[in-house]
């Protein structure tokens, strides 16, 4: 029987049995950090949850149109969050500069999202609502997200679809012309709008066109092939960035009244991930070093539906849309002896449809973290399929034979054709006749820079949107919610909250010879010079690959106290070697991809260490963070709400200094914390 949203799922987490007990006075990471003052979101509204966002919008001060022309905004990143913010703020009349390292905003990593975007439209009349989307998101995040932020996200989700339809986004439609929906993991309703397997691309084109309209109108200036390398902070406020022109090598200063970071996530710290190869943490990390807190960095998501690793030569993993789990059935052989057989020769009675067996209510649509761990478990048992890599078969079958029998080949092709074609090109196998092989891979990060309800970081004047902030997904993101958050932040949240800050303008102009600006620019030049003069004997990529191996092995799908402590030591040793022995060829006065990578990998070293410290501090399992010491008797994640119902916000204390941990308590008034169950 399915679990109703108003009924307890099972028991509270403190009542569940565990293989490892927790002592409230015990902290695995106590030697690795300094305790800081508690953190409170001063912008978080009170009152009934359904009225909080409306009240906050009304309370936020206004900026009249004449004054907007005197106020300037820098936006770093032109994916869904950045492009939508630039379009909206430009149309409002602000002076906007946008920056991206790609040769066009249309190449932002948002383009890679395949399966869909959630919205509580209830077009299927299957019981969906704003409150149910809110509930599913908080539960899916294992009760480690802020309820006010999540409710706002669910509330504005309905506006996003109307906005995108008006822009001409070609969402899939039913025979009668109405917008179609499909289900995604972690829910029992159909609320995901999609454009075949190209949803991210189509949404990004819509946001890009809206931004380009403002470029033509003169309110937005676009800087492509520019990478932010430092944040300019003057008198405690964000006032600009130092960026490098990646074509000419010129180090440029750009100043403004406010800075918005919309630079995406840091999944490439693992080297092998579904992220674009250029995705990095540098914009967020340079802000962190200037005083912006980094929140919940250990919360990374493993996507269950990726093409398995085929060998040690790979530098990129390919995502197959989670929408495939709607109609595909996931299984492995019951018997290890059958793992090297042609799957079509394995009879039905010898197949283990393990998600349907373990989680009968949700079946193949359990949330991503649960599906990923389940796949790892059956492969660790020796029942994985596909070619052996390093002596292990890391793959499970995603089988569409039943769907083709039920719906017909043409119907399956119309829903998933481009995904099937992509799989065939990459693997050389025909998924219409032979089951796909999939395995979990690093995909999305729920951690990011800490922001308040207004999306402002701990540095006044620095706002953070989309995947670059931590605010909405808790310990695990439900599928099809990334596009929802990016567009919600850019179109409907930031434009209302940033005006409250800008209402204090016009601000005092800052010159390029201001001491804080000069210091930021000089630090970038010194950093570049260091990488070019080390002249060691190892490539940047070799260090990145080794760091990724450490992160995946010890801070990946499962973490433990011993493993995390070992990882911290390994990362510190590798980082020291990197600064002594890295070899960066070329010069700084031209296109130099090796130099670009060096700066990004240097930041990944510092981030990777903090991720391990954060994971070490959180001696509980929740969502994508699975500590081996904290699990139920049947191997499910076990939270400890009394000890860990907080946001971990980390303050930079200096290189080789212990980071400072500030805890923001998570308080739920509209929802009850329960042990998650999808059975």
Alpha helices (runs of H) in 10-68, residue ranges in sequence order: 52-59, 65-68
Report the distance separating Cα 602 and Cα 598, nearest Å. Answer: 6
Distance CA 638, CA 112 (A): 33
Q: Are residues 598 and 533 in contact, defined by beta-carbon separation less than 8 angstroms?
A: no
- What residues are paired with 244 via a beta bridge? 227, 251
368 is catalytic: yes
CA dihedral 414, 187, 445, 638 (to 10 degrees): -140
User: How far is 445 from 485, CA to CA, in rounded Å?
Assistant: 13
Please give the structure tokens belonging to residue 495: 């434009």
Q: What CA–CA distances, in Å, run from 453 to 58, 92, 465, 566?
A: 14, 21, 11, 36
| Given 244, 368, 521, 600, the catalytic residue | 368
CA 119 to chain centre: 18
Is 365:190 a contact under the CB 8 Å cutoff? no
Closest listed residue to residue 98, CA positions, set 111, 84, 116: 84
In sequence order, what E strands does 132-191 have?
none
In the block, tokens 């300037």 appear at 72
Give the strand pairing for 258-261 and 72-76. parallel
Helices within 587-626 (DSSP H only) = 593-617
Distance CA 669, CA 602 (A): 42
* Nearest alpha-carbon partner for 84 in 380, 493, 452: 493
User: In this structure, what DSSP letter does residue 93 have?
Assistant: T
By annotation, the residues acting in catalysis are 368
């Amino acid at each position: 029987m399915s679990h109703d949203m108003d009924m307890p799922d099972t028991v509270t987490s403190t009542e569940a049995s565990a293989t490892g007990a927790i002592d409230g006075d015990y902290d695995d990471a106590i030697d690795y950090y300094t305790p800081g003052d508690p953190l409170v979101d001063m912008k978080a509204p009170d009152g009934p949850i359904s009225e909080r966002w409306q009240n906050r919008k009304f309370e936020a001060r206004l900026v009249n149109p004449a004054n907007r022309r005197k106020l300037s905004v820098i936006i770093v990143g032109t994916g869904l969050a950045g492009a939508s913010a630039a379009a909206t703020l430009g149309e409002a009349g602000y002076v906007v500069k946008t920056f991206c390292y790609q040769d066009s905003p249309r190449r932002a990593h948002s383009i890679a999202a395949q399966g869909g975007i959630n919205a509580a439209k209830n077009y299927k009349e299957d019981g969906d609502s704003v409150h149910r989307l809110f509930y599913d998101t908080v539960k899916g995040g294992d009760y480690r997200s802020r309820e006010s932020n999540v409710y706002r996200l669910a509330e504005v989700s309905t506006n996003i679809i109307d906005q995108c339809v008006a822009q001409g986004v070609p969402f899939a439609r039913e025979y009668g012309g109405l917008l179609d929906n499909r289900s995604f993991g972690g829910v029992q309703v159909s609320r995901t709008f999609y454009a075949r397997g190209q949803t991210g691309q189509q949404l990004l084109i819509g946001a890009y066109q809206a931004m380009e309209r403002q470029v033509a109108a003169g309110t937005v200036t676009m800087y492509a092939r520019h990478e932010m390398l430092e944040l300019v902070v003057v008198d405690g406020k964000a006032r600009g960035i130092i960026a490098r022109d990646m074509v000419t090598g010129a180090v440029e200063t750009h100043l403004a009244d406010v800075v918005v970071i919309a630079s995406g996530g840091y999944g490439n710290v693992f080297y092998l991930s579904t992220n674009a190869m250029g995705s990095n943490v540098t914009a967020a990390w340079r802000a962190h070093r200037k005083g912006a807190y980094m929140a919940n960095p250990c919360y990374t998501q493993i996507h269950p539906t990726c093409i398995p690793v085929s060998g040690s030569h790979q530098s990129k993993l390919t995502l197959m849309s989670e929408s495939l789990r709607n109609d595909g059935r996931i299984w492995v052989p019951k018997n290890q002896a059958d793992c090297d057989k042609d799957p079509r020769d394995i009879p039905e009675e010898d197949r283990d449809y393990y998600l349907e067996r373990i989680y009968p209510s949700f079946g193949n649509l359990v949330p991503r973290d649960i599906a990923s761990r389940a796949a790892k478990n059956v492969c660790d048992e020796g029942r994985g399929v596909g070619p052996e890599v390093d002596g292990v078969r890391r793959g499970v079958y995603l089988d569409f034979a039943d769907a083709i029998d039920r719906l017909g080949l043409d119907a399956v092709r119309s829903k998933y054709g481009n995904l099937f074609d992509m799989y065939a090109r990459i693997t050389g196998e025909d998924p219409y006749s032979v089951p796909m092989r999939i395995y979990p891979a690093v995909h999305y990060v729920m951690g990011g820079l800490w922001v308040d309800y207004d999306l402002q970081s701990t540095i006044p004047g620095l706002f953070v949107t989309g995947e670059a902030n931590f605010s909405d997904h808790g310990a695990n993101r439900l599928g099809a919610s990334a596009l929802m958050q990016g567009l919600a932040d850019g179109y409907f949240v930031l434009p209302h909250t940033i005006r409250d800050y800008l209402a204090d303008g016009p601000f005092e102009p800052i010159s390029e010879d201001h001491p804080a600006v000069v210091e930021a620019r000089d630090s970038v030049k010194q950093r570049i010079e260091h990488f070019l003069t080390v002249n060691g004997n190892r490539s940047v990529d070799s260090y990145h690959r080794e760091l990724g191996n450490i992160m995946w092995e010890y801070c990946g799908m499962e973490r433990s106290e011993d493993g995390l402590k070992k990882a911290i030591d390994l990362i510190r040793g590798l980082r020291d070697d990197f600064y002594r022995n890295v070899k960066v060829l070329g010069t700084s006065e031209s296109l130099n991809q090796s130099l670009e990578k060096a700066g990004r990998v240097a930041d990944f070293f510092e981030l990777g260490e903090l991720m391990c410290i954060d994971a070490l501090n959180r001696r509980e399992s929740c969502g994508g963070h699975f500590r081996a010491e904290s699990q139920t008797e049947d191997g499910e994640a076990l939270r400890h709400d009394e000890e860990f119902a907080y946001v971990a916000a980390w303050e930079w204390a200096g290189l080789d200094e212990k980071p400072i941990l500030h805890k923001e308590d998570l308080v739920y008034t509209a929802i009850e914390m329960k042990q998650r169950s999808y059975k």
